[in-house]
Chain A
Amino acid sequence: MLGHYLILSGIIFSLGLIGVMTSRNVLKVLLSLELLLAASNLSFVSFSKFNGDYAGQLIVFFVILVAAAEVAIGLAIIVVMYRRLSTIQADELKEMKW
């Protein structure tokens, strides 16, 4: 039973990774980031259930909280980027070359 949940969590996490690595659109990147967090939340909760420890669920509580803050800031950054470059293509952010 636990195994099913873990595999599911892995699949979601991988999909999230693929999204982060291949998205042309920074919004999509941020969304995939949410997927990553969701996958780890699932894994935490399933371990919590199968180990009999509430700590997992509490961690999820805080993770949701932090994720919310992070998304807010991320969106603000995207807005700034849009105003600066008039586009939200990830390719246009090339200045970390040197």
Chain B
Amino acid sequence: MSPFFFYLFAAILIFASLAVILARNPLYNVLALVVAIFSLSCLFVLLEAFFVGMILLLVYAGAVLVFFLFVVMCLNLNTVVLSSQQQTRFRWLGSFVGLMFLFSFALAAKSFIRAHAMEPSSIRGTIEVIGKILFTDYLLPFELTSFLLLIAIFGIVSLAQGALSTGKDSENL
């Protein structure tokens, strides 16, 4: 049972990722990423990491990607764009380099896998367990993330403000 589901979700994940990078319409890109996150979440569940799986869905697919959709619709983008010479070249080169990266990765993983044949352990990442560790061993990072989010908010607001004022000025001109 387990291998079947693994391959199923893995296939969905791969196809969704391909769609992310190959689709023309930016909307399709975002939606494909949502699908990818979904399948990733399912894979997490297969690995019995329930908490992070749910968090992934809630935060990522729920908030971040929705935000993406907002921006895409805001910018009112049509199917992009003129192809420039340089980008064409980069396509081939980029694909090649990416494939080489994959190949290197495979080489590394192969030797690692041969060296360490592993059996899955019996840990289960439930909310209770994760919560307990989070609030005892990892309390400091947990609290510091609030600062991180605060700084992020500052950054966004100042960027948007600057953009707004620039936009206003250019309109008046």
Chain A positions near chain B (C-beta within 8 angstroms) = 1-8, 10-19, 21-25, 27-28, 30-32, 34-35, 38, 41-42, 45-46, 48-54, 57-58, 60-62, 64-73, 75-80, 82-84, 87-91
Q: In the complex, which of the residues B21, B74, B149 contacts A15, with contact meaning CB atoms closer than 8 Å?
A: B21
Interface residue B8 (Cβ < 8 Å from any Cβ of A): no
A22 touches B94 (CB 8 A): yes
Interface residue B121 (Cβ < 8 Å from any Cβ of A): yes
Q: In the complex, which of the residues B14, B125, B148, B155 contacts A65, with contact meaning CB atoms closer than 8 Å?
A: B148
A64 touches B133 (CB 8 A): no
What is the CA–CA distance of A3 and B119 in the complex, to the nearest angstrom?
A: 11
Kindly list chain B residues whose C-beta atoms are within 8 Å of the C-beta of A24: 80-81, 83-84, 87
Q: Which interface class (under 10, 10 to 19, 20 to 34, 35 or more) fits B?
A: 35 or more
Kindly list chain B residues whose C-beta atoms are within 8 Å of the C-beta of A78: 71, 75
Fill in one digit per residue for B134-146: 1 if any A CB lies within 8 Å of its CB, else 0: 1000100100010
B134 touches A2 (CB 8 A): no
What is the CA–CA distance of A22 and B17 in the complex, to the nearest angstrom?
A: 14
A16-B17, A91-B84 known, 18 other contacts, Cβ within 8 Å: A1-B118, A5-B43, A12-B13, A15-B14, A17-B101, A18-B21, A22-B94, A27-B71, A28-B29, A35-B21, A38-B36, A49-B49, A61-B55, A64-B60, A65-B145, A72-B152, A80-B160, A89-B80
Interface residue B172 (Cβ < 8 Å from any Cβ of A): no
Known: A15-B18, A69-B152, A84-B166. A76 touches B49 (CB 8 A): no
Q: In the complex, which of the residues A22, A32, A51, A53 contacts B90, with contact meaning CB atoms closer than 8 Å?
A: A22
A-B contact count (CB 8 A): 237
Known: A22-B94, A25-B80, A27-B29. A38 touches B37 (CB 8 A): yes
Q: In the complex, which of the residues B33, B52, B105, B151 contacts A45, with contact meaning CB atoms closer than 8 Å?
A: B52
Kindly list chain B residues whose C-beta atoms are within 8 Å of the C-beta of A50: 118-121
B21 touches A32 (CB 8 A): yes
Q: In the complex, which of the residues B20, B64, B123, B162 contacts A80, with contact meaning CB atoms closer than 8 Å?
A: B162
Top 3 A-B residue pairs of the complex, sorted by shortest distance between their CB atoms: A52-B121, A21-B94, A18-B98
Q: Which of B129, B130, B163 has most chain A Cβ within 10 Å?
A: B163
A76 touches B56 (CB 8 A): no
What is the CA–CA distance of A12 and B40 in the complex, to the nearest angstrom?
A: 11
Kindly list chain A residues whose C-beta atoms are within 8 Å of the C-beta of B48: 49
